Amino acid sequence: MFKRIKLINQTSYTECGQCCISMIANFYGFRQPISYYKSIYSTGRDGMNVSQVYSILADIHLTPDPYYLNEVSSFDFSNRPYILLTNNNHYIVLKKIADKKFRIWDPAKGVKNVSKERISCINGGIIFEVYPDDDFCCVNNQDNVFKYLINFVKKVKYDLMRVFIISTATYLISAGIPRLLEYIISTLLKENNSTILTHNMFKVVSLSFIYFLFSHFENKMILKLQKNINQEITLETIEHVLNIPYTFFENRGENNIIYRLGLLPKLMDLIANRFVNLLIGTIGIVVLSIYSIIRYNILLPIILVMIIVPTCMILSFNYYIMNKKQDELAREAESEEEQIDLIKNIFYIKTSRIADKVFVRYKKIYGSYLDIFIKNSNSGYFFNLVLTIYSIFSPIFIVLYIGYFYEVTAGEIFFIYSIIGMILTNTISTITILGEMGLLRPTLVYLNDIYDEKKEHKPEGILISEFENFHVKNLSFKYTDSGPDILNNITMKINRGEKISLVGLSGSGKTTLIKLITGIYNTYSGKILINGKNITCVNSHFFENKVAIVSQSATLFNRTIKENIFVEKNHTDDNTIWKVLKMVNLDDYIKGLPLQLNTMVGEDGLNFSGGQLQRLILARALIKNPELIILDEATSSLDTYNETLIYNNLKNLGMTILSISHRLDTIKDSDRIYVMDNGKIVAVGNHDSLLESNNMYNQMYNLGG
């Protein structure tokens, strides 16, 4: 039985190992969707190491024979597939196809044939030869890549049916034009007088008016369908994106997510336009073919040939171009992500005077995309040229053939030419749309990765009317199932009205602990309790109404100052806004602006300084008068005066404060300070006691934090 390896593209930076395992498992008959491997093993931010790849392969009864690949030239490759770790810690599938020729399936870049010398250049030193063991069982549980597309179609099925009915009627009216012209030509050749002319003109005007009415209603229904499908897909996708776990964004990156959302118009066009055209084209082929064969049975073999030839041509071309389009899509995504990066980092690029250097990098990335785009476009251009010539000239040859061997009138010749042309046009259009749907598979893979991600569970939970305490017990956390602990056995408590601080060197786990406390990460061991209740059982309104979080990576929306501060409140008067702006010492500055609260903040806050942005973000947090405020380096860009003023204001309000700061002067008045090192709490106490008892804290304080 012929077997081939099917490319599986990675949709995040860390999935190459899972994709390679899935490709080889599929090759041997263990066919599971990539989501299966994601569910049994989470790669997190760090990807997979060699032992983890070995373990997963063994779990599905594929024997992974590992080898140290020091010299590629002397290694005896079998005909089995291999997983190769490259020198940039990336996994690819490798298979020998000739003596010194190999094919690689790269989850990031597609399929290509390479020489043994090229393998030597990318070799990372470890390779797995993979084959089934005695307990291996075949499984066929592949996902349908069109599953979410089908769900979207079902939601607008009644709109589609209405468009389909009116479009079919419009098409049948237009199909009557060749028959009308046949009649007109035949009558004019027999007899030409004013009565016949008037009669024929009346028929033409009547048909054109009917066609106009049906086309008008068709366009209105298509616009309604487009509106509904655009609304359905866009709103559902954005709502889904806002409710999936935060780790999804960490593993894929902001630019990658933006690129995926940019693919939505292709999906909407497919349903609103292509799908309808596919149905109408199919009906057109069937109706016109039956009608033609009933009138002229000699057309049966001709019509069959006309349908079969372009169908075979288009399907063959799509099979040829599929992997190349996947590669093109991956390169396009990389190019667009690089563009976004350049714009987002324009300040650094300008101040560092490195525009020429980053342009060279972008030129290389874009050039790689452009090369494969031009190559694929040339293939498509040549193929479309062949199809165009076939569709233009084959009806002429058919008319010549019929006119020579059979007795037909001039009107019948025109009818046959027109009807054959319409059948051929519909055939090419229909098969082309089917091909486009096939070529859309790589796009759907990127979008399906979003839809496959389960929404976060939001239980009704326990309503907490007033914050009393936060208790963390024996908390441990790691990014991957078999990775090292990032946090290890953390225990801490925060009581109402206290100021608690976390200190430690960069990378000690402070921000990770904050993410766990705020519920961003939900896979951990240990307990996180709010008023003695497990955080997973607490209603989300607690965080919405009682807790404010200001992180070191917090940003503002590209909206006005008022809209940014309003974002967590439905109704707030301007006086309340001015009150919180005064608390962060920003009221006088904003009053001096021409538009005051209606001043645009700008994308990423480009219209304000770093310190002003941090104070605006603090004002946004304070507008809801939280009972617990969590500050993760929230004042790092402020001068000492403003920082001290803000902390004093928070303390005077009686808020419970959990703070991370490298400026230890701002936390000296903390009720308790937790010192963290390598994911552990190594000391607890107040400022004075820690200065005496803990060398790390003492050194950090004397060195200025």
**What is residue 621's predicted lDDT score, i.e. its pLDDT?**
84
Domain of 95, CATH number, reads: 3.90.70.10
Q: What is the pLDDT of residue 192?
A: 66
Taking the C-alpha atoms of residue 165 and residue 175, their distance in angstroms, rounded to an integer, is 15
Do both 170 and 65 map to the same domain?
no
* 474 and 574 in a common domain: yes
Residue 130 · residue 80 · CB < 8 Å: yes
Q: What is the dihedral of CA 50, 56, 61, 62, to 10 degrees?
A: -40
Question: Is 2 a residue whose pLDDT tops 70?
Answer: no
Q: How far apart are CA 655 and CA 661, in angstroms?
A: 17
Question: How many Å apart are CA 311 and CA 430, to the nearest integer?
Answer: 9
Q: Which residues contact 73 (CB under 8 A, 6 or more apart)?
A: 116, 120
Mode of pairing for the β-strands spanning 533-534 and 525-530:
antiparallel
Domain boundary among 116, 140, 164: 140
Longest dimension (CA), the chain: 118
In a domain, 9, yes or no: no
Kindly state whether residues 133 and 205 are assigned to the same domain: no
Element (H, E) at 493: strand 487-495
Q: Is residue 5 part of a domain?
A: no
- 3 domain-assigned: no
Residue 701 to residues 194, 631, 695, 697: CA-CA distances in angstroms? 107, 19, 10, 6
pLDDT at 513: 87
Residues 634 and 669 in one domain: yes
* Amino acid, res. 488: N
Which residue has tokens 């326990």?
A: 462
| Cα 71 to Cα 163: distance, rounded to the nearest angstrom | 63
Confidence (pLDDT) at 603: 64
Instruction: Report yes or no: 360 and 473 within 8 Å, Cβ to Cβ.
Output: no
Q: Identify whether residues 433 and 475 lie together within a single domain.
A: no
- Bridge-based pairing of strands 499-504 and 672-677 is parallel
What is the per-residue pLDDT for 568?
Answer: 60
CB 141 within 8 A of CB 26: no
Identify the helix (H) or strand (E) that includes residue 489: strand 487-495
Q: Residue 367 above 70 pLDDT?
A: yes
Q: Based on the domain organization, do 268 and 334 belong to the same domain?
A: yes
How far apart, in Å, are the Cα atoms of 308 and each of 185, 188, 215? 32, 37, 31
Cα–Cα distance, 268 to 259 (Å, whole number): 16
DSSP-derived 3-state class of residue 107 = coil
> Is 480 exposed, middle or buried (CB count within 10 Å of its CB: 0-12, 13-18, 19+)?
middle
Q: Mind listing the pLDDT tens digit for each residue in 122-175?
A: 888 888 888 888 888 888 887 777 888 888 888 888 888 888 888 888 877 877
Integer-rounded Cα Rg, in Å, for the chain is 34
Over residues 39-67, the pLDDT tens digits come to: 777 666 667 788 888 888 888 888 888 88
Measured CA to CA, the distance from residue 260 to residue 665 in angstroms comes to 45
Same domain, 136 and 69: yes
Instruction: Tell me, yes or no, whether 446 and 518 share the same domain.
Output: no
Tell me: do 120 and 185 sit in the same domain: no
Q: Check whether residue 308 and residue 338 sit in a common domain.
A: yes
Residue ranges making up the domain that contains 432: 147-452
pTM: 0.72
Q: Which two tokens stand for residue 384?
A: 């479309």
Structure tokens at 286: 């069937």
Nearest CA to 214 out of 159, 172, 242, 185 is that of 172
The enclosing H or E element of 393 equals: helix 355-405
User: What's the rounded Cα separation, in Å, for the pair 22 and 141?
Assistant: 12
Question: What's the count of helices (H) and strands (E) in the chain, helices before strands?
Answer: 25, 18
Strand 91-96 relative to strand 82-86, pairing: antiparallel
Domain holding 251: CATH number? 1.20.1560.10
Tens digit of each residue's pLDDT (9 = 90 or more) over 408-451 = 777 778 878 888 888 888 888 888 887 777 767 777 877 888 88
Is residue 122 included in any domain, yes or no? yes
- Looking at the fold, whether 101 and 67 belong to one and the same domain comes out as yes
Which domain-ending residue is among 106, 140, 174? 140
Query: Which of 242-246, 322-326, 653-657 is the least confident region?
Result: 322-326
Sign of the torsion angle spanned by Cα atoms 658, 663, 669, 671: positive
Which CATH number does the domain housing residue 659 bear? 3.40.50.300
Answer yes or no: is 2 within a domain: no
Q: What letters, b where the CB count within 10 A reaches 16 and e where it falls short, cover 649-668? A: bbeeeebbbbbbbbbbebbe
pLDDT in tens, 97-128: 877 788 888 888 778 888 888 888 888 888 88
Least confident of 11-25, 297-311, 646-660, 677-691: 297-311
Q: What is the pLDDT of residue 1?
A: 44
Task: Judge whether 501 and 633 are in contact, CB under 8 Å.
Answer: no
Q: Average pLDDT in the 692-702 region? A: 84
DSSP string for 533-585? EEGGGB-THHHHHHEEEE-TT----SSBHHHHHHTT-S---HHHHHHHHHHTT
- Looking at the domain assignment, is residue 464 inside a domain? no
Which of residues 78, 112, 140 is at a domain's end? Answer: 140
Q: How confident is the prediction for the chain on average, in pLDDT? A: 82
What's the pLDDT tens digit per position in 444-491? 877 888 888 888 777 677 888 888 888 989 988 887 766 777 888 889
Quick one: 524 and 669 in the same domain?
A: yes
462 within a domain of the structure (yes/no):
no
- 91 phi and psi angles, rounded to 5 deg: -95, 140
CA 465 to chain centre: 38
| Listed ranges 230-244, 397-411, 449-463; the one with the highest mean pLDDT | 230-244
Number of domain units in the chain: 3
> From CA 423, how far away is CA 442, in angstroms rounded?
31
Q: Which of 513, 524, 497 is nearest to 549 (CA)?
A: 513
Residue 678 included in any domain: yes
